[in-house]
Structure formats: structure tokens, C-alpha cells
Structure 1
Amino acid sequence: MKLASIDNNTRDGELVVVNKELTKAIRVPEIASTMQLAIDNWADNETKLQNIYEQLNSGTLTTGTFDFATVRVLAPIPRAYHWADGSAYVTHVELVRKARNAELPESFWTDPLMYMGASDAFIGAHDDIEIENEEWGIDFESEVAVITDDVPAGVSAEEALNHIKFVTIINDVSLRNLIPNELSKQFGFYQSKPWTSFAPVIVSVDELKNEFVDGKLHLPLISALNGEVLGTPNAGIDMTFNFGELIAHAAKTRSLMAGTVIGSGTVANQGSPTGSSCIAEIRCLETIKDGKPSTPFMKFGDQIEIEMKNAVGASIFGKINQKVKKYEKK
């Protein structure tokens, strides 16, 4: 099934079921008013929502439906109790370190990197990326993310796969020029990671049975900046840690609550001319080749589009389509 949250002038939006083609949707207040409430009681709600989804796709359900394109979409889960981003594509980390002549610790291949991000608010697929200063090095990061139900502490990587309920794509915006100072303190990201944006819909794992295999989403992730495609890496290739392993890592010492969002980190394919999903990696490749980077970070007015399509070219999650805008205090 495909679910979304639409704007209803509340922080958490209103839950809707969306058809496969992303053209029609319907509100389901009799089941759950918000995405978080739906996931909190997933054992009771899954079958009810699946029935609505099937009726919506078959055309037997018409009363109460509306054109999905006519409403403002929020992030599918506008705020979550827990958001943790991994770095599952270790070749990406290796490249970044190579560009600054730093060795990659051997442990990075066996023990995932992960940080906890800001989950008090996520932003919608068409919301502006509002940043105060261009000099902070504004970058996009195209990623895959999953949403879980309740995950017990100490879960194995194999068991963790059963707790993945939804898959989507995200733009984990980074402020590259703020990162070095933060990491030098050895206490992780904070100021360098503004709000993360989500695709319009999340998609249940059963809907992706041919693409989401072994905890990896085996499809190209397309990133285009100002209309120019910068990368199309396949998210199922070069993923050192699958989502089961990432979830198990996050749940090693504590349970994860329903609605937890786990990110893959920047999708990257090693050795591919279109294998990058962020400007930073492109700049690293330029530095290794030419001794210095030539591609600038994003500026005010730039437009970033991120999308994933199925084998017949149809958009699976809808398109992230955002402009970078100067933040003005209100």
C-alpha cells in the first residue's frame, strides 16, 4: 500500500491512502487520523488500510476520493520519535577520506556508522530548503529510508527485517562547511544537519516484493540539480550493511518505538560516472582527478529533484522537488 500525510493545519497532518499511480487518495479518519497513530496500532490497522488501498486501485471506491496532486503533501510522517541515519555505502565514506588523504579504519566495513538526527520536524517533498547562509556549503543527499514498527532491543539483523513496514526516499540535507568543526569535537552532527525532506508517499514492503530484497532496494535513485541529472546509482549495489543490519545496530542496547525512521546514508556506486547522490562525492572525485573540486555546492534558487522509478518508468514514491531558499526569520 501507499500512504501519505496531507496538510490540515496541524503539526502531524492527516493520514491518506494513495493509489498505486499516485493520482487518487482518500482520508481514513475511521481507521487513523495520523500516520503515527496508524503505525502505533499497526497490527489492527494494516488489514483495514490494505483493503482501502485495494478498493482504491480497483476503482470500486470512489466516494470521498480526491486528486492527490491537488493537496499539499507533508512528510509522510511529519515528526517521528526517532530518526537515525546510517552510512551503509562504505565506498562513499572511503572516497571522501581518500580525497583528503585519510585512511579508512578497517572497522568501518564491519561496524556501521550511525547518527541520530532531528526528528522533531521533517519537511515535505515540495517544501523549500531554507538555509540562512550559502557559505555553509549546502548539499543534498539522496537516500533510501525505512519505517519500523516496535523493535525489541537486541534484535538480530535477520529478525529486524520483519520489523520494516514501509520504504521511501529522502533528501538528508547537509551543510558541508559546518561539518569539519563539528566532527573535530568528536560528538557528532548537529548544526550541520538541518531538517530532512521526504518523498510524498511511503510504500509497504509487500508492494516492493520484487525490488526490496534482502533488506536492500534494488533500483536506481535519480538526482537532478537544476534539471541536470547528477547521479543514478542503484541503491541495491555497494550497500555494505542492509537495513536489517542497520536496525539491529540501532537496537543493540534499547528498543525502537513504532514509527522509527532509519536512513541508508548517501547512496553510492563505486567506479560509476553516475554513481553519486551528493555534491560532496562529486567534489571528491574531482579533487582526486584534478587536485581540486570544480562543482559548487547549492546556491539560493537552485532546484533539486530526487526520484525512484520502477521497471516500467513509473514513479514509486513520487518526486522530491525542492528549491533552496534563503531563510528569513518570521
Structure 2
Amino acid sequence: MSVKPEPASALFAGPFALATLSAPGRPRFPALVTADSQVVDLRAALRDDALTMRGLLEQWAVVLPLLHEFAADPGTERRPLVDFRVHAPVEPRQVLQSGANYRQHVIDLHVAHRDPDDDRSEEDRRAEAAEIMDRRAAEDLPYMFIGLPSAITGPYDDVVLPSWAEKPDWELELAAVIGKPAYQVSVEEALEHVAGYTIANDLTDRATVFRRDMPQIGTDWLRSKNAPGFTPLGPWIVPAGSIADPDDVRVTLKLNGGTMQDESTKDMIFSVARMVAYASQTTRLLPGDLILTGSPAGNGMHWGRLLRDGDVMEGSVTGLGVQRTRCVTEAAS
């Protein structure tokens, strides 16, 4: 089962967004969703029966003007969004994740993950974390690592909490979707390679982040972040042109109706452009790839309350819509 979306309102900025949809007897297909929640089948509109969202993004510069035409033309065949199931909007080849990118979030984690032998006051530990963040910003070095596409699930699908995950936590994030190959691009050029933006909830099992058996090798992102379904994505890809400033949108996560995260991307240490440029220095970014930009303060470790069976997470980012996912334990699933 999954949490039912509210299709009466698409809730995104601009005249349209992109989605991957399906219906009974109809496999997944890329779609244009209008602001009044109507659907244009892009396989039919572009006369390509094999078109995928990633294939559409590979033609982004050519296709974007056509998408605007389809959205504006009332004669384009449309059906109500309510008739379809909404999936993760894209299947990326690569997922690049950004850690420690929100100042207040990192300070909170620094305090929450303190060494048991550290008897300093919370004030002293917060001051130390703030100094570390200031130094990172001055040195201009983002912290990025690799996620697995197999962890991605839909924006309304249930999230299965593995039996081994002792401290599953939420981390809502703004995600940039690449629309033009990028390799060793500058910060000034970086946003030219972004087709649009979507929402990602980068779940983390806090108990397995650090390797207790081998502390000298550091963090274990494979174990802690890449269980199946640990990255709910979407519902939409909103074209970059509809988002005035990705470095000033609000990231909000509610747990069972209570607000847990509510922060502007202005609190990011490194901008979206800086992270895209940084990732491209090492990795050739390809259309459909995701750059997750980090999560703000207010995760479960901060509140002393981790995810459990039956919890419903509602995540929103200004202009990008809302995703709703319910947690089920592995045994219950």
C-alpha cells in the first residue's frame, strides 16, 4: 500500500512540471503535468513510443520549447492526473549526495554524535562545530559522496524500514536534476547544466553511519543510506526556469503532521551551483543524474525521535510540490 496523493492540485511553480506516471495496463511513461493537474502523455505528444524521462532530458535544449507549447495549447490531448499513479520522476544513472551542507544541521549533529568520553558543555561543542563549518566554507570544499539509484522510490510509496536499521532518520533535501552533460564546469556555468529540481528524502540509519569496528576508515554510506526505498523522490521535476532562486527555497518536513524540518536553502554552506561544479570536477554528470544538496536542521537525532512503523512523512520544497510516504517495518511489509 501507499499514501494516496492529493491530485486536485499539482502544487508546483510555473505552468508545468514533469512526471513519470502509470495506469492499470499502461506501463510507466514520461508526462507533462499542467498547473491545473492535467496530464499530457509525452510519448504521444513527441511521437516516440519508447521515450523515457531520462531520454527526454538527453534532448532537453530541443524539447523544452515544445513542452511550453504543449502546456499552453488547450488542444493538446489531456487526462486528469487523478487517473494515474505517480512514480519517482526519473531513473538516474548517478546519485551524488552532499553531506554537512547546512550550518545549523551540522552543528546539531556534532552535538548529537558526541563521543561518550567528551564531557565538555553543549555550548563548547556547538562552538567547535561552528568553527569547523566556518573553516570549510573558507576552504571552499563541499563534502560529497555516492548514492545508489536502487535506493530511489516513488513520492507516495511506502518506505520499508529494514530490520537491521536501529536508528532510521529523515533528511529532506532539494535535488538538482542534470539536463546537459557536465564535466569540469565552473560555478558560473554550472546551472546551465541543470534541467530542473525535485524533492528527495535521503533517509539515513544513524546507527550504521560510523564504522565502530574500523573507525579509521570513517563513514559507511553504503549501509546507512542505500537500503531499497531509502530515497523517496519527487513527485515532479520542475524546470529550472520556474524556480527563481534555488538557493532561497524552503525545505519543510512534517512527521505525522508535526513540523520537524523547516529551513531555507539560504542556510546552505555551498550553493547549488557550487555543488554541481564540484561534483563535475571528478565525475562526468549525465542527463537525469541527481545532485542532492544536503538536509537542514531538524532531523530525528535532533528531536530524539527516530522513524518507526506507521509514521507518515510529508516533505515539501517551495515550488516543487509535496511528497507523502508512510513507514512500515520490514516484518510488517
The question of whether the paired residues in 2 share the 8 Å contact of 1:6 and 1:15 is answered with yes
> Which residue of 2 is the match for residue 192 of structure 1?
224
> Which residue of 2 is the match for residue 259 of structure 1?
288
Residue 62 to residue 255, structure 1, CA distance change in 2 (3 Å): closer
The question of whether the paired residues in 2 share the 8 Å contact of 1:126 and 1:320 is answered with yes
* Cα offsets for 1:63-90 (capped at 9, x unmatched): 3x1221331111000x211110113213
> Which residue of 2 is the match for residue 279 of structure 1?
300
> Which residue of 2 is the match for residue 307 of structure 1?
316
Residue 44 to residue 9, structure 1, CA distance change in 2 (3 Å): farther
Aligned equivalents of 1:157, 1:188: Cα separation in 2: 29
1:86 counterpart = 2:98: yes
Q: Which structure exhibits the higher relative contact order, with contacts defined as CA atoms closer than 8 Å and separated by 6 or more residues?
A: 2
Aligned equivalents of 2:107, 2:261: Cα separation in 1: 18
Structure with the largest fraction of helix: 2
Structure 1 residue 188 displacement after superposition: 4.1
TM-score normalised by L of structure 2: 0.79
The question of whether the paired residues in 2 share the 8 Å contact of 1:134 and 1:298 is answered with no
TM-score normalised by L of structure 1: 0.80
Structure 1 residue 187 displacement after superposition: 5.7
Aligned equivalents of 1:120, 1:41: Cα separation in 2: 24
Aligned equivalents of 2:282, 2:249: Cα separation in 1: 32
Matched residue type, 2:273: G
| Structure 2: unaligned runs, 5 residues or longer | 1-15, 119-124
Q: How many residues align?
A: 291
Deviates more, 1:197-206 or 1:119-128: 119-128
Matched residue type, 1:108: R
The question of whether the paired residues in 1 share the 8 Å contact of 2:179 and 2:286 is answered with yes
Residue 263 to residue 133, structure 1, CA distance change in 2 (3 Å): same
* Cα offsets for 1:233-266 (capped at 9, x unmatched): 122x211111111011111133211111001110
> Which residue of 1 is the match for residue 239 of structure 2?
204
1:115 counterpart = 2:153: no
CA RMSD of aligned residues (A): 2.6
* Cα offsets for 1:257-298 (capped at 9, x unmatched): 111100111024xxxxxxx2x212x24xxxxxxxxxxx3211
Residue 325 to residue 142, structure 1, CA distance change in 2 (3 Å): same
- Over the matched positions of the two proteins, sequence identity in percent amounts to 23
The question of whether the paired residues in 2 share the 8 Å contact of 1:134 and 1:300 is answered with no
Structure 1 residue 5 displacement after superposition: 0.2
Aligned equivalents of 2:260, 2:182: Cα separation in 1: 39
1:2 counterpart = 2:17: yes
> Which residue of 1 is the match for residue 11 of structure 2?
none
The question of whether the paired residues in 1 share the 8 Å contact of 2:180 and 2:194 is answered with no
Structure 1 residue 192 displacement after superposition: 0.8
Aligned equivalents of 2:243, 2:162: Cα separation in 1: 38
Matched residue type, 2:102: Y
| Structure 1: unaligned runs, 5 residues or longer | 269-275, 284-294, 310-315
> Which residue of 1 is the match for residue 13 of structure 2?
none
* Cα offsets for 1:122-158 (capped at 9, x unmatched): 2111100112227521111111011112333221111
Matched residue type, 2:31: V
Residue 117 to residue 135, structure 1, CA distance change in 2 (3 Å): closer
